[in-house]
Structure 1
Amino acid sequence: MFVIGLVVPFTICFLQEATGTYEQAVLAPPPGHMQPIGSHMPPMSIEERNDFPDPIEFYDNYVLPGKPVLFKGTAKKFPSYYNWKNDTYLKEKYGSWEAKVETIKKGYMERAPTTMNLSKFIDIYKTESVYLVDTIAPPEPITGDVFVPKSVLCKSFLDNLVSIVLWFSSGGTRPVLHNDAFENINCLYDGEKEFVLVDKKHKDLIPIDHPSPNSPHLGYSSVDTEQVDMYKYPSLTKVPWYKANMETGDCLFLPARWYHHVHSLNSRNLAINLWWKAMPELEFREECEKKVSRLPQYESLIQHRLKNGVKLEELVFAAAFNGSNEIEETKFYRTTMLQFSDLKSTEDRIPLYRKLKNFFVTADTNGDKKLTRNEIETAPVEILDGFFLSQKPTPEKDEHSIQDEL
């Protein structure tokens, strides 16, 4: 009896504690559980200003420290601002432009994009689930309506431009939580966007379960951003985050490798973003400083020949293709390596070969051991990180014959 008297109260107490803990867990789930991403704690605000700084100020105060900033109303100063808001204008002037169009608006774009001209897209985008996402670059006529802001109008930035992308939909898009290898200015010509931003320093708290082959901290997360399962992703409850609400005419600087989720609200939504490679220092600073006082507020993209881009076959891989539309794997390595004649030793060339191998395997989507021009054009931009970011091809003798892309 004495033993039972000791055990029973202890057992009851234990059960009460266990039951209380269970009930508490049921009544109080983790903050933000099954709610939209960012619901777990109040956001921090980012700096806002109503002008574009000059390139020196932009680099020193925002790019180098990795500090996002929202430029309010600055896109309204571009001469083409109202053109991008006008479907009739776009259809009449650029209707024949062939663009890549996604057929899914939420999550990761796993299906291959289709191709259609801009005129057809404009006819259907308000009633069908389509999302135009494509690069634009000289000499395409549409680049005459794209303007490069003052903040990047110096050699240091222009030499490192990678790509300019047009994003066009009827709204309601929700891409995955992800990050990119490149610095980014995104200008919104129509609609509204809500950004959830997370500093790259919190990389250990972000569940990137689909990493880039070149970096475990580049890629995207399969977390459902509309209903975050905080039991499955408990680290997200600890993540400090920033909020940026973009309105029509705003531009946002998003630092390289910052994690972000973007929600385009349910209305016509058109944005153009500019990507450039991360720069540990501002090359040609003195040259840039001398020109600062004379810089215009913007320049047309069509004026600039860009050095590196997503359409790699127009640059380093041009010799590899040599006029054909496809190339076999062995020839691809051999002829592309020749473009990097400054790498003399085997020790220097082995890392490049490994990066080329990774590029080939990733871009060869059908696994036929051949690369087509289209496979290179449509390869994920992330695989450039770790390849062209550390390797620069030998310049062509006739630079004016090359048309490059941001």
Structure 2
Amino acid sequence: MHRLYTALFLSMLYSMCQAELKGHLMQLGKQWGDPTVVTPELFTVPQPRDFYQQFVKPRQPVIFRGAANHSLASKLWTTEYLAEEYGDLVVRLEARSEQDSSSPVTDVGFGRDTIRHFANNFKSMNAYVISQVPTPMEKDISIPPCLACGNFAKSIQEVHLFITARGGKTALHRDPFSNIHCVFNGTKDWILIDNKHEHLIYQSDESTDEFGGFSEINVDSVDLTLFPTIEDVEHSLVTLNSGDCIYMPASYWHQVRVNGEYNTAVSIWFSRDFQVVPQDWSNCVEEIYPFKPMSEVDIIWRFSGENGSLSQGHMDIHLFRALLLSQADSKHQISLTDFGNRFIGGRKDVAEKREALVRELGKGFNHVTVDHVRSLSIDQLKTLMEIVDPTDVSNTQDFEYSSIDTVDIAAVVAKLLQTVGSFTRQEFMSEYMSTLGGSELIAGRLFDAMDPNQTGRVSKSDARNNLEKAVQNFTSAPRHDPTSERMWLRHLRERDEL
């Protein structure tokens, strides 16, 4: 009886404590009441030097009301227009909520869709478009004048396209690059948190040493018993309406919710402000710069819209140049062997990457001069970046091979064999797609590899003899490897560059 009373007392005490936690298990933002930080709003986009001095250098977010109205997209991008004008273009997809790790699957493939199919079905799909802008769409997007000259003009990394329905949301996260996000349809609510509060927001272990990152907090139901210090965070709350843009400094924490039945936006990613990269305004020859179509602006990484690999997500080529320069000796020489050992790592292919760097940058010599590194063109830096930081696997056509474990495939095969003794192509494809979330295309390839004699049915002996070979693409598929990124970040932190 004593134990029963004790249990009842502890249960009542726990319930009382939870009741006293204002905002417990509520949506992120409900814990704080009114915002404690005000984000500035402008109705005119500043020119590049003013933008740098007033906002980039002090790492101050700012809203540009009406700036997105300078893009044709704000007037043209109905679902009908996108389907008719750009329907055959392929774009990258993710699950509608960032906290959902599944990958949408369509007839185009794993994490891919055509704009036509997505525009016609986006309301019912657990997916949203987050992709580099296909080049045919660039004419509809205007780059704001604040990025027209100085270092900005040569540091626009890539431009992301967002198309989603009501209910889309991000995790609480920080981006590796500075960006200007512009909304064309619908509205978006933003919670902004300065990265000086990073110690309060429970950053995930895996992203602690990477340029981007996310919090472990469930943004739909914040458990204040597990994450109590989130209550101490100072924040700003911002709503972007159709036609508005916002500047977000690199590594500035934020969480976004999509409102409206249909939402389109772009995010212009550009290099963060590094102390080791001095500002150069010599190319700022005009007094007033206008908005300019993206198709007429230098963008480092572009995407054709064909169903191939995207170049999305590379590390900053200008940072790579700065890292090289930081290793110069007293004779203004850079040892490529020493540089490779310090800044190129990974679980495999490390030696090949280091050798390729010497071959491409040193042309067979182990040393390069500071002047040579400073003279490298954007295209040369891109070539080097593709060596040291290959395309992220999530941006390739073969992403499915990297996402599904061979153990899980073997479990599907074992289940079917145990249930029916042998299985047909349709039985396997149905189980593979429903259980593992894979595509019809890859399911068919797997079955064919297990059925080399084309009998139309896989037996236990077929599976035993052929399964290992059938899953070879999954076994050898590349995985995301952040080793080099962590080396770069550690170096920047040591030099107080962030």
CA distance in 2, matches of 1:237, 1:314: 35
Q: CA deviation at 1:214?
A: 3.8
Shift in CA distance, 344/59, structure 1 to aligned 2, threshold 3 Å:
farther
Q: CA deviation at 1:211?
A: 3.1
CA distance in 2, matches of 1:103, 1:79: 28
Asked if 1:34 corresponds to 2:55, the answer is no
In structure 2, the partner of 1:52 is 45
In structure 1, the partner of 2:194 is 199
Instruction: For structure 1, list consecutive stretches of 5 or more residues without a partner in the other structure.
Output: 1-14, 317-327, 349-354, 392-406
What CA deviation, in whole Å up to 9, does each residue of 1:116-144 have, x standing for no partner? Answer: 2111111111233221111125xx21112
State the secondary structure of the residue aligned to 1:141.
helix
Asked if 1:212 corresponds to 2:207, the answer is yes
The letter for the 2-side match of 1:46 is T
CA distance in 2, matches of 1:96, 1:382: 37
CA distance in 2, matches of 1:303, 1:361: 25
In structure 1, the partner of 2:61 is 68
The letter for the 2-side match of 1:300 is P
Q: If the length of structure 1 is used for normalisation, what is the TM-score?
A: 0.73
CA distance in 2, matches of 1:125, 1:157: 34
Asked if 1:124 corresponds to 2:121, the answer is yes
In structure 1, the partner of 2:133 is 136
Shift in CA distance, 344/39, structure 1 to aligned 2, threshold 3 Å:
farther
- Residue range with higher mean Cα deviation, 230-239 or 26-35: 26-35
In structure 1, the partner of 2:412 is none
What CA deviation, in whole Å up to 9, does each residue of 1:271-327 have, x standing for no partner? Answer: 100111112357454325432x1412x1111123333577189999xxxxxxxxxxx
Shift in CA distance, 200/380, structure 1 to aligned 2, threshold 3 Å:
farther
In structure 2, the partner of 1:341 is 362
CA distance in 2, matches of 1:382, 1:47: 37
In structure 1, the partner of 2:244 is 250
Higher relative contact order (CA 8 A, sep 6+): 1
What CA deviation, in whole Å up to 9, does each residue of 1:217-238 have, x standing for no partner? Answer: 8411221111100110011011
- Of the three residues 275, 285, 293, the one matched with 1:290 is 285
Q: CA deviation at 1:40?
A: 2.0
Q: If the length of structure 2 is used for normalisation, what is the TM-score?
A: 0.60
Shift in CA distance, 111/386, structure 1 to aligned 2, threshold 3 Å:
farther
The letter for the 2-side match of 1:133 is I
The 8 Å contact of residues 96 and 164 in structure 2, kept in 1 or not, is answered as no
In structure 2, the partner of 1:87 is 79
Q: May I ask how many residue pairs the two structures share in their alignment?
A: 344
The letter for the 1-side match of 2:114 is N
Shift in CA distance, 370/94, structure 1 to aligned 2, threshold 3 Å:
same
CA distance in 1, matches of 2:87, 2:24: 45
CA distance in 2, matches of 1:385, 1:164: 24
Q: CA deviation at 1:370?
A: 6.3
In structure 2, the partner of 1:311 is 311
Q: CA deviation at 1:244?
A: 0.8
In structure 1, the partner of 2:432 is none
The letter for the 2-side match of 1:177 is L
State the secondary structure of the residue aligned to 1:36.
coil
CA distance in 1, matches of 2:484, 2:240: 29
Q: CA deviation at 1:246?
A: 0.7
In structure 2, the partner of 1:399 is none
Shift in CA distance, 370/148, structure 1 to aligned 2, threshold 3 Å:
same
- Residue range with higher mean Cα deviation, 69-78 or 109-118: 109-118
State the secondary structure of the residue aligned to 1:338.
helix
User: Which protein is richer in strand relative to its size?
Assistant: 1
Shift in CA distance, 88/383, structure 1 to aligned 2, threshold 3 Å:
farther
State the secondary structure of the residue aligned to 1:287.
coil
What CA deviation, in whole Å up to 9, does each residue of 1:81-137 have, x standing for no partner? Answer: 2112x2222222111101112244352544375212111111111233221111125
Shift in CA distance, 132/27, structure 1 to aligned 2, threshold 3 Å:
closer
CA distance in 2, matches of 1:385, 1:77: 39
The 8 Å contact of residues 180 and 245 in structure 2, kept in 1 or not, is answered as yes
Shift in CA distance, 127/30, structure 1 to aligned 2, threshold 3 Å:
same
CA distance in 1, matches of 2:189, 2:483: 23
CA distance in 2, matches of 1:83, 1:163: 22
User: Which protein is richer in helix relative to its size?
Assistant: 2
Instruction: For structure 2, list consecutive stretches of 5 or more residues without a partner in the other structure.
Output: 1-5, 105-109, 303-309, 318-347, 371-384, 394-398, 404-473, 493-498
In structure 1, the partner of 2:235 is 241
Asked if 1:263 corresponds to 2:257, the answer is yes
Q: CA deviation at 1:22?
A: 3.9
- Of the three residues 136, 158, 167, the one matched with 1:163 is 158
The 8 Å contact of residues 188 and 241 in structure 2, kept in 1 or not, is answered as yes
Q: CA deviation at 1:68?
A: 0.7
The letter for the 1-side match of 2:289 is L
The 8 Å contact of residues 210 and 221 in structure 1, kept in 2 or not, is answered as no
- Residue range with higher mean Cα deviation, 241-250 or 72-81: 72-81
